[in-house]
A and B are shown apart, each in its own frame.
Chain A
Amino acid sequence: MSQDIFPPRVRRWLFTTNHKEVGILYLVTALFFFVAAGLLAVTMRTQLSVPDNHVLTETLYNQFVTVHGLLMIFWVLSPFAFGFANYIIPLQIGARDLAFPRLNAMSYWFYLFSGVAIIMSFIFGAPDLGWTLYSPQTAFQFAPSIGLNVGAAALILITVSITMSSVNFLVTMFKMRAPGMKLRNMPVFPWAILVTIFMMLYAFPSFLAAVLLLYVDRAFGTFYFSSLQGGALLWDNVFWFFGHPEVYIVLFPAIGLIADVIPTFSRRPLYGSKYVIGSMIAAAVISFIVWGHHMFVTGIGLTSTKLYTVTTIAVSLPFDVMVIAMIETLTKARVKLKAAALFALGAIALFVIGGITGVYLASVALDHALRGTYFVVAHFHYIMVGGSIMGLIAGLYYWFPKFTGRMYNETVAKIHFIVSFIGFNILYFPMFLLLDMPRRIQTYAPDTGWGSLNSLATFGGFIFGGAQVLLFVNIFLSQRRGPPSGPNPWDGWTLEWSLPSPPPAHDFDKIPSIAEDGTYHFGTSAGLPHGAGYPNGSKIGDGYPHSHFEGLSPWPIVVAFAAFIFFLGLTIGQPSSPTTPVTFQPFWPLILDGAILGVIVLYGYSREKFSVHEESHVESWPFREVPNVKLGIWTFLGAEVIFFGVLIGAYFFVRTNSPIWPEVGSLFDIRNGFAMTLVLLTSSLTAIMALVSARVGSRNGLIVSLIATFGLGISFLYIKATEWVYLGSHGVFSVAYGLPATSYFITTGTHGVHVFAGMLMTLYLLVNTLKGRYLKGDHQAIEHFGLYWHFVDIVWVFLFPLFYLI
């Protein structure tokens, strides 16, 4: 692909793989969506300002509510934080870039296109049932709008984006820290991102599985989520298993950032930093066992609700530690109230209010009154706007000089804080008092008495919204005309401040190292731990090969675009019947375009000579011996475990809730299942033989093993296909047959797709083997394929007994 058709500046932004530029792209895009979602909010506040108001129709109001929520949670909070993470974390841990720069750019483009999709959904009638997408209202009969499909496509794309960047950051932070930079020596911000990534890895696959099942329900008329057999509760469980960790996913980066900003501006180290980090880990773990508090009044039983009350109240303890640590940091300090410090301290104050009111909602008894009211709205806006957004704005002011090399206007920034803080409280505090008013209603009657508090909140909303104009004017003008900031305007002590502002493309001329006594060494190998020097002969100090930093790659954006087209094709289309729509027909031309383009660009992507300079650093516990790609695959497989876990869990759920289920052997032939199991287990053996052959350099052995693996995969899919055809020709493959068939087709079908993907990999490996690769110690690819292939086999080992034997 010729890159020269674009002018250089455009080309740079479209094709960049540099973590700093990708970070800026993330920040700018997130701020754009922040404005878009904020304008939706201002419109909604206008609608609610007085009783019986009709600025917005109810349908439009519901769409605004939904898209505002989705945008803020998925397209603003996390990407805003990951803009900083992209730019700052490699600098703070002394790496030259992320582990996989092209994957990083691809994450960004998936994010952008997913955002385009969610905005596009307005064309088709945007989702209008709240960001929680409760079933069975998502069933096609209740929501026959294509807009919800497009929303689902957007959510799938952003989940892919998030999964890619989690893997990327995880590998970077475990593998690419500067020599001597121990995990515990990382500043709190990278720590917060690390904890966030782990939550993402375990929470988002659950969400992805839920959205995929939802899509299948809508496209094929199945009824995972619309069945009487607990479909609504299935969605609730799966969604909130993701949804509660998601709250901390959008919060932790801001907390980590604040924990670095407050010490810098109070001129003392963070109080009890190891306890802060420990608390983050504790809260992240507990966040996976509190989701039931979103379901207190669904009728999950007294004992469960009590357990969830205890876990949810317990999760406030680690946050308690974090807040107290930040406040104690100020003792005997020298507090400089610059704008960044004001926003950080303000965020903590608002977060305290949000946290305390969260304890109210953790109580099952109070939740009987407060569920679904404006008290909830007030609570989570204090967390997400008060804690997260205010904290992230602190980061924007804090790192603005680093990004641009210029200072913003401090006075305007301080006014921005004061007006925002006051406006925020006028906006959201009245909502605590509106604890009788249902959330997500378009209007209310005058005799409810809710009018005056709503007017006040709307007034505050205009103040808060208007204050943000100051932010945008300030950063826009200052990045052009602000006075030079110098490398370290705040007298900070984390590594990014050791570099010029803005840092050069390759970041560090010389990778720093940290000696045992905690002092940094910029560029000499003296004092390195273990006396190791720089392994792999990387040319520290005598001119770093900068090639890839100027190297642009056109493929990430095109891969993302292909995926965008593909999913758009899957989701836009025609309802299958104009009168009583139950399902819809996907738009095949677009799907084909996307698929063809996808194959072409993935080929181009893999062919591109884009070498990542992998510096093998001395300190990379606990994965010292594990290469980047392998660690990436392990983490990816970890996410896959959750994904299949949810599919299998959903199967269990519908099965235990169904009054009748077919006898063993009556639906699926046990012999088929047994044969497939044997075939797949044998193929695991041949995959091992392939690796052994590659290790000993036996070309023929490798070729035979790969062909055998491919052949066994084909046999597996062949048996599966005959089974599907048999079931289909006997009428089982119909909606009427219900959940036993649905769950079987979806679960084994998803597994089959994984087998198919594995077979494509064997073909790729085979082609390369014939060209003579993998035999001279470069057999990592065979090993990576093996990991994946064994995982797919293990999944089948679970599916076989579940569907055929019990």
Chain B
Amino acid sequence: MAVSNTQVIFDNLYGIFTDLAIVVGVIVFALMAYLIIRYRSKKSSSDPEDTPRLGRIPTARGHGRNVLITVTLSTFLLAVLIITSFAAVDTLFPNTPPNATWCYGIAAYNQTQATGQSCPRLDVTGHQFYWVFRYPNNHTYTNFFRVPVDTTVVLDVTSADVFHDFGIIQFKIKTDAIHGRTNTIWFIPYTPGNYTIQCFELCGTGHVGMIATLAVMNVTAFQNWYGSAK
């Protein structure tokens, strides 16, 4: 089930990598197993002709041609992986940094676009050992935040103390939270529900409990909550 655009991007790309990995892995292991079984030492077999002997430098063996073929094939495979990765990261990291205008521009949800009230762009700050979320209306919440479904959500992540890493587990998206720097990530949630945020960089005793919740809500429910909050 698709829970966010970032998760879809990840799953597609991970699928491509895994398909190729399985193909390459199967070929390599099959070749290895075949050669070991085919040429394993038997009582009847004797050493090949070019077995090196003590007292001589071993004779050179192997063709540059084969090496070249291997490298060329691999380069093609890797090029596929690089190109697909670049396509994915261009979406994850648009060339123009997300701002309010941009955020409305690609949002599937556009009801508030006309009024321009609540493009959800939040400041996220990591502390030892909790997360603080600040909405544009300056309301802050600790260890939980809410966003409307099908809307572009932009997060500006930083840290108040040590090196943390902000990751929304099910959305397959994360960024480092570093004191003195702001890193921006964005996503479009597809399915209402609760999702888990966890710190992914060991940040001290208490790191294990640095967990927050993201609630993805229906648009009207979100607007009611946001409008009436505090």
- Nearest opposing residue in chain B for A360, CB measure: B17
Q: Does B199 contact A (CB under 8 A)?
A: yes
* B177-206 vs A, Cβ < 8 Å mask (1 yes, 0 no): 011111100000000000010111111111
What residues of A have a CB within 8 angstroms of the CB of B61 in the complex? 268-273
What residues of A have a CB within 8 angstroms of the CB of B127 in the complex? none
Per the CB 8 Å criterion, the residue count for chain A at the interface is 97
Q: Does A777 contact B (CB under 8 A)?
A: no
Partner of B58, one of A333, A448, A493: A493
Could you tell me if A498 and B62 are in contact, using CB atoms closer than 8 angstroms? no
Binds B, one of A86-94, A134-142, A146-154, A766-774: A134-142
B contact residues, range: 35 or more
Q: Does B121 contact A (CB under 8 A)?
A: no
Give the tally of cross-chain contacts (CB within 8 A): 273
- Nearest opposing residue in chain B for A302, CB measure: B93
What residues of A have a CB within 8 angstroms of the CB of B90 in the complex? 302
Could you tell me if A337 and B10 are in contact, using CB atoms closer than 8 angstroms? no
Q: Does B85 contact A (CB under 8 A)?
A: yes
Could you tell me if A336 and B41 are in contact, using CB atoms closer than 8 angstroms? yes
Bound complex: CA A324 to CA B88 (Å): 31
Bound complex: CA A135 to CA B70 (Å): 42
Q: Does A359 contact B (CB under 8 A)?
A: yes
Could you tell me if A302 and B89 are in contact, using CB atoms closer than 8 angstroms? yes
Could you tell me if A268 and B32 are in contact, using CB atoms closer than 8 angstroms? no
Binds A, one of B23-31, B132-140, B212-220: B23-31
* A253-283 vs B, Cβ < 8 Å mask (1 yes, 0 no): 0000000000100111111111100000000
What residues of B have a CB within 8 angstroms of the CB of A337 in the complex? 36, 40-41
Q: Does A250 contact B (CB under 8 A)?
A: no
Bound complex: CA A313 to CA B45 (Å): 42
Bound complex: CA A316 to CA B61 (Å): 23
Could you tell me if A369 and B175 are in contact, using CB atoms closer than 8 angstroms? no
Could you tell me if B95 and A302 are in contact, using CB atoms closer than 8 angstroms? yes
What residues of B have a CB within 8 angstroms of the CB of A268 in the complex? 48, 50-51, 61
What residues of B have a CB within 8 angstroms of the CB of A323 in the complex? 28
Q: Does A615 contact B (CB under 8 A)?
A: no
Bound complex: CA A363 to CA B202 (Å): 23
- Nearest opposing residue in chain B for A444, CB measure: B208
What residues of B have a CB within 8 angstroms of the CB of A679 in the complex? none
Could you tell me if B48 and A267 are in contact, using CB atoms closer than 8 angstroms? yes
Q: Does A438 contact B (CB under 8 A)?
A: yes
Bound complex: CA A135 to CA B78 (Å): 34
Q: Does A371 contact B (CB under 8 A)?
A: yes
Q: Does B112 contact A (CB under 8 A)?
A: no
Known: A334-B41, A352-B28, A520-B55. A137 touches B162 (CB 8 A): yes
Q: Does B63 contact A (CB under 8 A)?
A: yes
What residues of B have a CB within 8 angstroms of the CB of A369 in the complex? 10, 14, 172-174
Could you tell me if A135 and B163 are in contact, using CB atoms closer than 8 angstroms? yes
Could you tell me if A58 and B206 are in contact, using CB atoms closer than 8 angstroms? yes
B residues 42-72 near A (Cβ < 8 Å) are: 45-48, 50-64, 66-67, 70-71
Q: Does A24 contact B (CB under 8 A)?
A: no
* A194-233 vs B, Cβ < 8 Å mask (1 yes, 0 no): 0000000000000000000000000000000001111111
Bound complex: CA A330 to CA B33 (Å): 10
Could you tell me if B50 and A372 are in contact, using CB atoms closer than 8 angstroms? no
What residues of A have a CB within 8 angstroms of the CB of B202 in the complex? 62, 65, 129-130, 134, 440
Bound complex: CA A142 to CA B64 (Å): 55
- Nearest opposing residue in chain B for A275, CB measure: B67
Q: Does A348 contact B (CB under 8 A)?
A: yes
What residues of A have a CB within 8 angstroms of the CB of B9 in the complex? 365
Nearest CB on A from B162, distance (A)? 4
Q: Does A373 contact B (CB under 8 A)?
A: yes
What residues of B have a CB within 8 angstroms of the CB of A321 in the complex? 67, 70-71
A residues 274-320 near B (Cβ < 8 Å) are: 274-275, 297-299, 302, 305-306, 309-310, 313-314, 316-317, 320
Name A's B-contacting residues (CB within 8 A): 58-59, 62, 65, 128-130, 134-137, 142, 185, 227-233, 263, 266-275, 297-299, 302, 305-306, 309-310, 313-314, 316-317, 320-321, 323-325, 327-328, 330-337, 345, 348-349, 352-353, 356-357, 359-360, 363-366, 368-369, 371-373, 436, 438-444, 448, 488, 491-494, 497-498, 514, 518-520, 522
